[in-house]
Amino acid sequence: MADLFIGLMSGTSMDGIDTALVDFTSRQPNILATHNHCYPAVLQQQLENALGLAAPLNTDLATIDDAVGDIFSVATNELLGKAGIEAEQVTAIGSHGQTIRHDPDAPKPYSLQIGNPNIIARNTGIDVVADFRRADIEAGGQGAPLVPAFHQAVFADNSEDRVILNIGGIANITILTPANDTQVSGFDTGPGNTLMDNWAQTHLQTSMDINGDWAAAGQVDTALLEHMLTDTYFQAVPPKSTGREYFNPHWLSQYTADGDATANSIQTTLCELTARTAATAIQLYADSAKRLLVCGGGVHNLQLMKRLAANLPGLTVDTTATCGINPDWVEAAAFAWLAKQHLEGKPGNIPAVTGASEAVSLGRLVRQPPENVL
């Protein structure tokens, strides 16, 4: 009997909704089907606005909450079609939703994801677990990163210290040491792709620096890099998490305003910033690690992967594909797993990672409407 769950994830890059159908029958999850579904351009712009980078949070919030729920449903139904699987064969969906606010260090900490799960449950006929971050925030945690528990369940190895590095819009690490698996730790190291994406959008009019070719063509501006590295986020001791509310074009302009670096050299420097801050975090907090497994869209930025390896000469740098999970689908699979954890009454956070006072069950369950029950 298969043990099927679906994970739905859209990260800070807003490069589309990742959906994965995962079978958890054996210890190693088996990803049976995947589908990436882009946001319609108008909704994407509304989401960018809601992030507060272009305009203050506006009254459209309720509308876009439902619109994201709608498009997540469409993405799920297309995934089911691709897989040739009926809704009733799937136990539940874990939907991360779309983050539009994340400030765990505010006087009243919060993290807000939208994508109305009631709509997803109705349109798919599958129970939905959503709103994963707020229980951890209520327990005094950062609400992020949440993928380390999944990384531990799937990638931990009892003979080797490993680090998982997920390079989405923001980058986060999970440190897996076999000696003491209750001590799993992890945190956001800083920007992943987001600053490079923004810079490419402005100067190349493309959504990203494809394969990192532009970054590879320039020179690092050492003075600019050293200046950016003085930012307080990089010095802060974990637990810590961040988002595009912090690392955005405004953040970058604080460092580039007075300089004379070329646009190309700034891109190369941003690539080095991501590689260097991740590498430094690994050297500081996981000095016994032998292997680095990378996942997230950043694996496709070849210059970034090259610079990561160059900054970590003692480590073997691979992608999670070498451990059986395609790097593009690790996060979606993680939210499928977190839905399973929820239904089994098991915790989803790791207090040593998020800073929460205790391990708690994450998410809220929305049952599919009765008319869909067979």
Ligand X SMILES: Nc1ncnc2c1ncn2[C@@H]1O[C@H](COP(=O)(O)OP(=O)(O)O)[C@@H](O)[C@H]1O
User: Given the rule CB under 5 A, which residues bind Mg ion?
Assistant: 11, 13, 15
Chosen from Mg ion, ligand X, none, partner binding at 188 (C-beta under 5 to 8 Å by type) = none
Q: For residue 328, what is the enclosing H or E element?
A: none
* Biggest distance spanned by C-alpha atoms of the chain: 66
* Residue 36 vs 91, nearer CB to ligand X: 36
* Residue 203 vs 300, nearer CB to ligand X: 300
**Nearest distance, CB of residue 301 and ligand X, angstroms:** 4
Spatial distance between the Cα atoms of 293 and 315, rounded to a whole number of angstroms: 10
Binding residues (CB under 6 A) for ligand X: these are 11-13, 15, 168-169, 193, 197, 208-212, 296-298, 300-301, 331
Please classify residue 18 by burial: count the beta carbons closer than 10 Å to its beta carbon, then call 0-12 exposed, 13-18 middle and 19+ buried: buried
Chosen from ligand X, Mg ion, none, partner binding at 161 (C-beta under 5 to 8 Å by type) = none
Chosen from Mg ion, ligand X, none, partner binding at 115 (C-beta under 5 to 8 Å by type) = none
Chosen from ligand X, Mg ion, none, partner binding at 142 (C-beta under 5 to 8 Å by type) = none
**Nearest distance, CB of residue 100 and ligand X, angstroms:** 13
Spatial distance between the Cα atoms of 176 and 167, rounded to a whole number of angstroms: 17
* Residue 15 vs 103, nearer CB to Mg ion: 15
Spatial distance between the Cα atoms of 19 and 80, rounded to a whole number of angstroms: 10
Q: DSSP letters along 16-82, please?
A: -EEEEEEE-SSSS-EEEEEEEEPPPHHHHHHHHHHTTSSS---TTHHHHHHHHHHHHHHHHHHHHHH
* Residue 177 vs 201, nearer CB to Mg ion: 201
Chosen from ligand X, Mg ion, none, partner binding at 352 (C-beta under 5 to 8 Å by type) = none
CB 89 within 8 A of CB 4: yes
* Residue 243 vs 351, nearer CB to ligand X: 243
**Nearest distance, CB of residue 76 and Mg ion, angstroms:** 16
CB 218 within 8 A of CB 267: yes
Where do the DSSP E strands lie in 222-331?
A: 291-295, 316-319
* Residue 127 vs 272, nearer CB to ligand X: 272
Chosen from ligand X, Mg ion, none, partner binding at 169 (C-beta under 5 to 8 Å by type) = ligand X
